Amino acid sequence: MEKTDLLQGTLDMLVLKTLQRGALHGYDIARWIQQTSEDALQVEEGSLYPALYRMERRGWIQSRWGVSQNNRRARYYELTQTGRRQLQAESANWDRLITAIGKIMQTA
């Protein structure tokens, strides 16, 4: 299957969506996005972290140190109230965008 670069700005939305499931550490977030998209989305894994930090700075997510399944110290991220609202706004936006683009593509 061909791989697609992530649209700019959509990484934030995907992360927020992923975190809807609960607190996760960075590695799980990356894996989950890849697996769910059946490896269609190409995420440079490291770039996830600056994005996480930025979202934390904006107050969308919060983090704490916890213990992973294999008993190692790992940093867990979870959604805040602001984050939930942000996710709603972004999904709505996304839906509109997709519909609009879909309409244009069908006319051609």
Partner 1 sequence: MRTAFRNLLARIRALIAPAAVQGDIREEFQFHLDMCIEEKVKAGMSPEAARLEALRQFGNQTTLREKGWDERGGGFFEILLKDLTFGVRTLLRKPLLTVTVLLTLGLGIGANTAVFSVIDATLLAPLPYRQPDRLMTLWEELTTHGQAQVEFSPANYLDVRRQSRSFEAIGAWLETRVNLTGVVEPQRLSGMFISDNLFGILGASPIIGRGFLPGEDQENAQRVAILGHGFWQRGFASDPKIVGRSIQLDGQSVTVVGVMPEYFSFPKKAIDLWIPLRMSPDQASGRGDHYIRVIGRLRDGINMSEAESEVRAIAKALEDRYPRTNDGVKMQLVPLEEYAFNEERPALVILFGAVGLVLLIGCANVANLLLTRANERGREMTLRTVLGAGRGRLLRQLLTESLLLGLLGGFLGLLLGFALVRALGTYIAEALPQAAGISLDARLLAYTLGISLVTGLVFGLIPALRVSRTAPGSSLRGLESQLASGPGAGRNQKILVVAQLALSFVLLSGAGLLIRSFANLVAVDPGFRTEQVHVVGVELPFSKYETPEARWNFNDQLLDRVRSLPSVRSAGVISFVPLTRSAVFFSFSIEGRSLPGDMDLPQAVYRVISPGYFETMGISLLQGRHLSNSDNESALRVAIVNRTMATRFWPEGAIGRRLKVGALDSPNQWMTIVGIVADVRQKGLDADAEPQLYVPYRQDHRGFIAPSEVVIRSNLDAAALAPALRREVRAIDKDQPISGIETMAAVVSRSVAGPRFRTLLLALFAGIALMLSVIGIYGVVSYGVAQQTREIGLHMALGAEPRKIVGDVLRRGLKLSLAGVAVGFLFAAGLARLLRTMLFQVEPLDITVFVAAPLLLLLVSVVACYFPARRAARLDPSTALRIG
CB 6 within 8 A of CB 41: yes
Work out whether 64 is an interface residue with partner 1 (CB under 8 A).
no
What is the phi/psi pair of residue 17, to 5°?
Answer: -60, -45
Which residue in the block uniquely carries the two structure tokens 């107050």? 59
Pick from 5, 8, 38, 46 the residue near partner 1 by CB under 8 A.
Answer: 46
Q: Is 3 in the site for partner 1 (CB under 8 A)?
A: no
Q: What is the DSSP letter of 83?
A: H
CA distance 49 to 26: 7
58 belongs to the binding site for partner 1 (CB under 8 A) = yes
Compute the least distance from the CB of residue 22 to partner 1, in Å: 18
- Binding interface with partner 1 (CB under 8 A): 25-27, 30, 44-47, 49-50, 53-54, 56-59, 68, 70, 72-75, 82
